[in-house]
Amino acid sequence: MGEFDLLSSLPAIAPEIGLTILIFVAVLLDSFLHESQRKGIAYVAALGMAALAIVPIIPGWAPEPGPTGDYLFWGGMIRHDALAQIFRIMVLASGALTCLMAVDAKRVGNKGEFYTIVLVATLGASLLSASADLIMVFVALETLSIALYCLAAFKRNDSKSTESGMKYFLFGAFSSAIMLYGFSLLYGFTGQTNLYALAQFMGTEAFANNAVPVLAAMVMVIVGFGFKISAVPFHFWTPDVYEGAPTPVTAFLSVASKAASFAVMMRFFIAVFPNDLVIGDYVIQNFWVQFMAAAAVISMTLGNVIALSQKNIKRLLAYSSIAQAGYVLMGVAALQATTPLGAERAVASVGFYLFMYTFSNLLAFAVIILFSEATGSETIADLAGLNRRSPWLALTLTIALLSLAGVPPAAGFFGKFYLFTAAVEADLVWLAMIGVLNAIVGLYYYLVVIKVMYVDRSEDEDKPIPTSQTYRWVLGVATLAVIILGTVGAQVIFEWAVQGAGTLFALLPGVF
């Protein structure tokens, strides 16, 4: 272990320290500010998180191997590498935008507790993306999840919100329990909790005949992660929770929670079941890659097909997010690539996709919040005539939906492009084909929404949707991000992600 060096360990949790300070500030402000001023907490939290999101980009703050010679810090609890930084930026950005989006939401925006819990959830997600130890993974995951259960049920007197919180909690608790069982088996096999130490122990002679126990543990872990990323068949909660939860919470939960879970999932499988782990005659990697590929196919197809028949825009986005999880899983499956560069590009494609998905989805939800706060409706049919009511809103929602569908010049195009490329490079051509077919199905229902906004007429066409200054900023920033990621920024960010992915594999004994 060696002597603990506090100063060299602190940068590894810099965003978390900042978030902790913000949490204290938010709690204090909540108790000292008058009720009408509590919206101010949103700006404090959002600006704070935005500032923290910039920290990892500052040159000279790039993660460096710590005193132990690798990227592991705090006794191996977290791995402070460039990939973790990228996901932290996503999580912090979505936390900041969520806070701003919540400002005008009724019965949510004027409560300081809301922002405090969002901050804690962000903290959990941020640590989750860097976790490198079974204990840390679990605690961070629970920090994220329990905060989200509270947020989902935040509108206490709204029966849909309480139902959503309850469902999310029950499913979440159940899948956490299964995952914990898997963790305990892994710990039982090896006596180790550090992800990077597990593989070495499972590769030993004693385990030569025991592929089945390892696979059982793996399946249980997949259940836990599958729930968090809402991949089929662990997706049951998604539509109800998305529909019932306060919309800013839905936005946060659809991006931050998903991004952090994908980050830790990739880290987990690369570290615990690397491609050189052979037990008996079985290459363990083949198993999980097949799981991921299968889950990708089912999630994409089921999500897209059911989304076709949705009437409620939040449910539509819920099924769309199941489908999107399927696309991303394709990138995870592409980790079977046999060359280091291929695997790095697979990780990077996942990173890039989630990066653009964060902004696209937040943008879509921001418009929906505005619309439903103004009209009280969330059905797709009521979006009719949005172009005549508020042309800018209609345009931003269009951009968001096109990005989700994967149409240039929005960012989604490059996101899908990189994912499909990664899949092809990893000899998963059939998977890429299914992905393309699904993208076409997806395009249809996104276009239907756009058609309703631009072509259909409604009686309320003379009533514009009021948009506050805060929201204009949110929409502006998110739209800009989506456009930049879809045009000039795509290559830059992807290259950055590839570099980051390199550190995920760097200094690992024997992966490549």
Partner 1 sequence: MVELNAHTVVFAIFSIITLGGAVGVVWNRNLVSSSYWLIFSLFGVAGLFVLLSAPFLAAVQVLVYIGAVGILITFSVMLTRGMTQIKDVFNRQSAASGVVAVLLFVVLLVGVVLPVWGPSGALSSAPASDVVATTAELGVALVDGSQYVLPFELVSLLLTAALLGAIVIARDQDK
Residues at the contact surface with partner 1, assessed by CB under 8 A: 1-4, 6, 9, 13, 20, 23, 74-75, 77-78, 107, 111, 113-114, 116-117, 120-121, 123-124, 127, 133, 135-136, 139-140, 142-143, 146-147, 149-151, 153-154, 156-157, 162, 165, 185, 188-189, 191, 206-207, 209-210, 212-213, 216-217
Choose between 24 and 430: whose C-beta lies nearer to partner 1: 24
Closest contact distance (angstroms) between CB of 196 and partner 1 is 15
Structural contact between residues 7 and 67, judged by C-beta atoms closer than 8 angstroms: no
Alpha-carbon distance 180 to 423, whole Å?
31
Closest contact distance (angstroms) between CB of 55 and partner 1 is 18
Closest contact distance (angstroms) between CB of 460 and partner 1 is 28
Choose between 123 and 307: whose C-beta lies nearer to partner 1: 123
Choose between 248 and 415: whose C-beta lies nearer to partner 1: 248
Which residue, among 332, 315, 316, 322, has the nearest Cα to 300 in the 3D structure?
322
Alpha-carbon distance 425 to 421, whole Å?
6
Choose between 33 and 424: whose C-beta lies nearer to partner 1: 33
* Measured distance between the N- and C-terminal CA atoms of the chain, rounded to whole angstroms: 26
Closest contact distance (angstroms) between CB of 254 and partner 1 is 19
Structural contact between residues 292 and 326, judged by C-beta atoms closer than 8 angstroms: no
Alpha-carbon distance 448 to 308, whole Å?
9
Structural contact between residues 265 and 227, judged by C-beta atoms closer than 8 angstroms: no
Choose between 46 and 150: whose C-beta lies nearer to partner 1: 150
For residue 446, CA distances in Å to 24, 236, 309, 407 come to 41, 22, 12, 11
Choose between 127 and 383: whose C-beta lies nearer to partner 1: 127
Closest contact distance (angstroms) between CB of 401 and partner 1 is 32
Closest contact distance (angstroms) between CB of 265 and partner 1 is 19
DSSP 95-149: HHHHHHHHTTSTTTTT-HHHHHHHHHHHHHHHHHHHB-BHHHHHHHHHHHHHHHH
Choose between 121 and 380: whose C-beta lies nearer to partner 1: 121
Distance of CA 276 to the CA centre of its chain: 28
Q: List the Cα angle 301/303/309 in 5-degree steps.
A: 110
Closest contact distance (angstroms) between CB of 16 and partner 1 is 8
